[in-house]
Amino acid sequence: MRLENKIAVISGGTSGIGLAIAKSFVDEGAEVFIFGRRKEALDEAVRIIGGNITPIQADAAKLSDLDRVVDVVRKAKGKVDIVVSNAGFTEQVPLREITEDHYDRSFDLMAKGPLFLTQKMLPLMESGGSIILVSSAMHYMGLANHSAYAGAKAALRSFVRTWAAEFKDSGIRANLLSPGPFPTAIMERQAKTREDLDALHTHYANYVPMLRLGRVEEAASAAVFLASDESSFMTGSDMVVDGGISNI
């Protein structure tokens, strides 16, 4: 197994890509800590994944909650080998209608959160550690009404480049995972009805060169690669898993 005896921490590990990553990590031998805001979602994730999973109720945008996550992991294991920052959301808001609240919520969760999660986990990491920030292929694209979302995801690209330079003497790697359109809860929240959601799925699928949406297991496989020694010569990189949508 590629992640045997590894300790992993995943934010936003209760649904969609985050849940698939957590399950794949456990299947590959890792012991996984997941955290999210909703207890019922955490309980369901534990039920789906089964063993070697520890849930922590915490908000990835709150530094005090991140401190508590670190404390739980430190007391339980004393170290961490893999950190995956995955928590996120999408709200389509035209530039003229963006509010300070929308901007702050977007950047607090998807830029500030990943930076401080990484900072706070670093003392528990040793050489060979892997940091994976889940971004979006959208940071390569110009998609209307996504200023805050795409901007926050673009910040993550800069983070891993910077950290690759900062970590060069530590043996710790930092990489980006940029998914394209996947049928996750984030996409579901953009539709008001089942019919709207089906139409949205069709719209995105027709835009992807491979003419389909991604499967969360495909993103999880990329995360396993980035977490494992198979990617030991990669740092500061962006692994784009988007069916080619960002290239057209």
- Are residues 123 and 187 both part of a single domain? no
Q: Is residue 247 part of a domain?
A: no
| pLDDT reported for residue 207 | 86
Cβ neighbours, 10 Å, residue 206: 9
Cβ(47)–Cβ(26) below 8 Å: no
Q: What is the dihedral of CA 95, 98, 103, 105, to 10 degrees?
A: -130
Q: Over the stretch 188-207, which tens digit does the pLDDT of each residue have?
A: 777 778 887 888 889 889 88
pLDDT at 187 exceeding the cut of 80 = no
**Within-domain flag for 248:** no
Predicted local distance difference test score (pLDDT) of residue 192: 77
Q: Domain check: are 165 and 191 in the same one?
A: no
Question: Which of 9-13, 118-122, 205-209, 229-233 is predicted with the least confidence, judged by mean pLDDT?
Answer: 205-209
Q: Are 100 and 28 contained in the same domain?
A: yes
pLDDT in tens, 86-123: 999 999 999 999 999 999 999 999 999 999 999 999 99
Q: Are residues 114 and 86 in the same domain?
A: yes
Could you list the active site residues? 149
Quick one: average pLDDT of 157-181?
97
Torsions phi, psi of 173, nearest 5? Answer: -110, 150
pTM of the model: 0.95
Residue 120 sits in the same domain as residue 207: no
Q: Are 85 and 21 in contact (CB under 8 A)?
A: no
> Across all residues in the chain, what is the average pLDDT?
95
Q: Which amino acid is at 121?
A: M
